[in-house]
Structure formats: structure tokens, C-alpha cells
Amino acid sequence: MNQPSTPQGHPEALYVLFFTEMWERFSYYGMRAILTLYMIAPVSEKYGGGMGLSEKEAGPIYGLYTASVYLLTLPGGWLADNIFGQKKAIWFGGIIIMLGHIILAFPAGNMVFFIGLAIVAIGTGLLKPNISSIVGELYPEGGARRDAGFSIFYMGINVGGALGMLTVGYLGEKIEWHVGFGAAAAGMFLGLVGFKLMEEKYLKPYGLLKTKEIEKDKVADSKSNNMALMMIGILISLLLVLQFTNVIDVTTAQGLAQAMGVIIVSITTFYFVYILIAGKLSAVERTRMYVMAIFFVAIAIFWAGYEQGGSTLNIFAERNTNRFIFGWEMPASWLQGMQSVYVILFAPIVGAIWLYLSKRNSNPSAPIKFGMGLIILSFGFLLMYFASQYIVIGEKASFMWLIITYLFTVLGELCISPVGLSFYTKLAPARFVSQLVGIWFVGAALGNLIAGMFASNFDKDNVAQMPSLFMLVVVVSLISGLLMILLYKPIKKWMGGVE
Ligand code: PHE
């Protein structure tokens, strides 16, 4: 395959993917930046008000939406592998995302709005996992060049995220919510145009449907299809029991979010147990599965804190933060954009530190990095614990609190997220790699869900509890981080030589 390469030695295809994902993330993070704010903004007589929902509704809806986005990457990946091929999945996914944002841009009532959200989530499920897997396909030899390719791609994600949050945030908050949603649609449109224009030239051999492998896997597939059907049956019965014993109430946003939590935890547990029992694993593959299960819990806890950028911290920025600079009040969503800005600034530095340390043979092992990530996250929320003391006494906090909190969350992210994904691909038995990468996304789904559900406690009339809420995040992430570090020896042993 003699495809054009850039001078740095990366295939030009990488930049097509970079550009498309950049615009997709522009639309995703841009819309997400104003989603919670729009939902809790009061309804006004004239065109331009928000939805007037309470935090109890808006938080779980945010959680349901963001969790669905990542959960739907499972069917999205399956559809690409079995029916469309990755490239077509990206194209259709992008179109669906754009249509979803166009629907959001019309002020047509709550029901239509929720349908728009669902459509964006379906499209993202198709696009997001498959664009990353083509990045992997560009480097069949693996190694450092592949890692570098993924780092460049991760930059695209965050350049899109930063521009999206700044643009959509500004338009949505300062001009009109629906202008913001429209800008998200326009961003995805630009991504699609670029993709179509460059696809023929640069992506020709990539992301195609691999029919031969599918034939080979048919037998194995029918067995796992039966298991999946059984699982769905058990899940539906479990949810019905929970509903009729009044444990959860799926007619409310909160109940739906709880049901989603039950679904995510069941799918994951079932998956791990199934592979352990029926996966014909060797002894070392088995202990590596334990490590992946531990990493799953850790990443879910991490995202549960981190992704509050769009929920509780966003609400905090809007209601409780003094956002004036030189007499001008910046949009609340801009503060959240700092997460992406920090990734752009610090990812190369953190990457260089790992490289430097590994040259000296002292690169910390994965469980240590996970532990560090969680502990650094807890420091960030400790700052919020202090910042929220101002709110309790009726004042506003300086925006610097959020600016520094976000720095901690991102330094944590850089310890945990790229490392975790790469270890998932290395620890997984070769035949289960793509499924386990899917499980990695499920970890993100669970974290996002919790981050949203947590916001239902951020009641305007009950700010006295705010410090203890933030303290809860501090304690949970600190304890789990310390546990990772304390247990690093057995975890490392279980990794069976994977470095
Ligand atoms: N910023 C990352 C992204 O949008 C967050 C993420 C990591 C999402 C892993 C899903 C899975 O890609």
C-alpha cells in the first residue's frame, strides 16, 4: 500500500481522520458545554429561554445522553465490522450527528429536543469508535510510531473540543441557545465536507469491510449471539423486577439514569465473567483479565469526577463563579473549555516525561499511573471543596478556582486515559481486542452517567451541602488512587510481563 506520507513519516490519511474527528468533537463538546446550562435556564416568554428543568432532571438527562454516546459505540463498532466497514460508518455517523444537531437548533419543544439528543448519540456511536480504529489500521507494525499517531489524533480531539466549547459556548450563552446548537451542526457539516473531499485520495485502502474474516467468525458468532440474547432477556427481567418493586422508576429522568447504570454494570460484569468462563484463556490471559477489570473500575471512577466539567462544575461556573475579566463577563462554558486547552498544552510535556523516564528505566508501571491520575483528580476536587465555602456564605468564587481545578483534572487524565487505552490493547487476548476496547468506552459511559447523576444534588436552594458533595469526590478518588498504588505489586504480577 503505497499511500502518500507527510514529512514526519505519518500517513496523510492520519490528517484526514484528525480533521474529521476535530469537527466531530467540535460539535460534541460544543453542544455539551451548553447542554446542562440550557436545560436549567428558565423558560422565558420570548423566544430564547431555556428548558426550565430542575437539577434533579437536568443532571440525569446529561448523564443519560453522554453515557449513551459512549455506550452506543458498541453497536457502532459491530455495525462497522460486520455491515458497513469503518469508512462508511464514519460517513453515515457524521451525517446522523449533523441531523441531530440541526434538530436541536430548532426550538420545537422538549420532546423534539430529546429526540435530537438521541440522534446525535446514535451518530456518535457510529463515528467515534471507527475513526479511532482506522487510526490503528494506519500503523499495522504498531510501536512508537503508532503511539505518536494516536497522540496527534488526540490533539485533533482536543483542538476540536476547545474550539467547540469557545464558539458554541459563546454563541449559545451570549447570543441564543439555538444559535449555539446550529453552530455545532455547522461544525459537523465542515467535517463531513472535508472528509468527502479527501477520502478518495487519502483513505482509499482503509476502513473497508473485511468480508473474509466475517465468514470465518460466523460459527463463533452464532454462539455468542445466543449468549447476548440470553443476557438481554435477563437484563429486561431484572429491570422489570426493579420497576415493579419500586426500586427504580423509569418514568422519571433519575429512574432512567439508574436503569442505565444497572444496564452498564450488568453488561460489563457479564462480559468479564463470560470471557473468564468461556474464553478458553491461558493462565496469563486470565490474570490479565483481572487487571482489565480493575482498570475498568478505576477509569469509571476517574471519568465520574472528570466529566463533571459538563455537569456540576458547569453549573458552578454559571451560578457561583465571578467570571468578569476587565469588566466583561465570560461565558460559563469557556471555563470548561480549559480542559481541552490544557490537554493541548500538557500532553506533549507529559508524553516527554514518560519517554525520559523510560530511557532511564524508571517509567512508572500502569497501576502507578492510574493511582497518580486518581490522586491528582482528587486534589482538583479538594480545591472545589474550598471554593464552595464561599458559596455557603453567600459569595461568588473567583474563576481561578475552576481554572486550576481543571488543570488538575487534565494532569490526571494524561496519566490515566492514554495509558489505560494502550494497556487495554496490550493486555487483551488478541482475539478479543476490539471487544475490550469497546469495554473501555463502556467505562467512559459509566463515568459520564455518574457525573450527570451527581449533578442532581446541586440544588440552587441547598448550597450548604456543596462542600460535602465535592468532598465525596475527593475521598472516593483519593482512596481508589491509593489502593491502586498499594496494590501495584500484585497487579503488575497479574499483567504477566506486559510493559
Ligand atoms: N476527550 C476524550 C475524547 O473525547 C475523552 C474520552 C476518552 C472519551 C475515552 C471516550 C473514551 O475522546
What pLDDT sits at residue 498? 84
What pLDDT sits at residue 214? 53
In a domain, 1, yes or no: no
- Domain count within the chain: 2
pLDDT of 268 above 50: yes
Ligand 1 centroid – CA 470 distance (Å): 23
pLDDT of 219 above 60: no
Give yes or no: residues 344 and 484 share one domain.
Answer: yes
Give yes or no: residues 348 and 210 share one domain.
Answer: yes
In a domain, 6, yes or no: no
pLDDT of 267 above 50: yes
Give yes or no: residues 211 and 224 share one domain.
Answer: no
**Ligand 1 site-directed mutation target among 303, 306, 342, 344, most atoms within 8 Å of CB:** 303
Give yes or no: residues 122 and 80 share one domain.
Answer: yes
Task: Give 106's pLDDT tier (boundaries 50, 70, 90).
Answer: very high
Structural domain span for residue 435: 13-217+280-494
In a domain, 243, yes or no: yes
Residues with CB under 6 A from ligand 1: 25, 70, 157, 417, 441, 444
pLDDT of 48 above 80: no
In a domain, 2, yes or no: no
pLDDT of 218 above 70: no
- Residue with CA closest to ligand 1 atom 12: 157
What pLDDT sits at residue 432? 87
Give yes or no: residues 210 and 228 share one domain.
Answer: no
Ligand 1 centroid – CA 399 distance (Å): 25
In the chain, the percentage of residues whose pLDDT exceeds 90 is 79
What pLDDT sits at residue 393? 96
pLDDT of 216 above 70: no
Nearest ligand 1 atom to the CA of 25 is 4
In a domain, 159, yes or no: yes
Give yes or no: residues 415 and 482 share one domain.
Answer: yes
Mean pLDDT, all residues of the chain: 93
What pLDDT sits at residue 3? 56
In a domain, 7, yes or no: no
* From 44-58, 218-232, 341-355, 480-494, the region with the lowest mean pLDDT: 218-232
In a domain, 365, yes or no: yes
- Residue with CA closest to ligand 1 atom 2: 157
**202, 12 contact by CB (below 8 A):** yes
Give yes or no: residues 294 and 425 share one domain.
Answer: yes
Nearest ligand 1 atom to the CA of 154 is 12
pLDDT of 143 above 90: no
**Ligand 1 site-directed mutation target among 130, 133, 157, 423, most atoms within 8 Å of CB:** 157
At CA 337, angle to CA 336 and CA 341, rounded to 5? 130
Q: What is the mean pLDDT of residues 156-175?
A: 97
Given 279, 296, 320, which residue is the final one in a domain?
279
Ligand 1 centroid – CA 171 distance (Å): 24
CATH code of residue 393: 1.20.1250.20
pLDDT in tens, 385-399: 999 999 999 999 999
Is pTM beyond 0.85 here?
yes
Ligand 1 centroid – CA 445 distance (Å): 10
Give yes or no: residues 378 and 473 share one domain.
Answer: yes
Task: Give 232's pLDDT tier (boundaries 50, 70, 90).
Answer: confident
- Residue with CA closest to ligand 1 atom 8: 444
In a domain, 4, yes or no: no
Give yes or no: residues 401 and 418 share one domain.
Answer: yes
Contacts of 354 (CB under 8 A, 6+ apart): 363
Given 279, 299, 330, which residue is the final one in a domain?
279
pLDDT in tens, 181-193: 999 999 999 999 9
Give yes or no: residues 347 and 481 share one domain.
Answer: yes
pLDDT in tens, 396-413: 999 999 999 999 999 999
- The amino acid present at 269, given as its one-letter code, is T
Give yes or no: residues 456 and 483 share one domain.
Answer: yes
What pLDDT sits at residue 46? 66
**Ligand 1 site-directed mutation target among 410, 417, 449, most atoms within 8 Å of CB:** 417
Ligand 1 centroid – CA 37 distance (Å): 21
Ligand 1 centroid – CA 265 distance (Å): 19
Given 258, 279, 300, which residue is the final one in a domain?
279
Ligand 1 centroid – CA 401 distance (Å): 24
What pLDDT sits at residue 1? 45
Ligand 1 centroid – CA 268 distance (Å): 19
pLDDT of 148 above 70: yes
In the chain, the percentage of residues whose pLDDT exceeds 70 is 96
Give yes or no: residues 81 and 213 share one domain.
Answer: yes
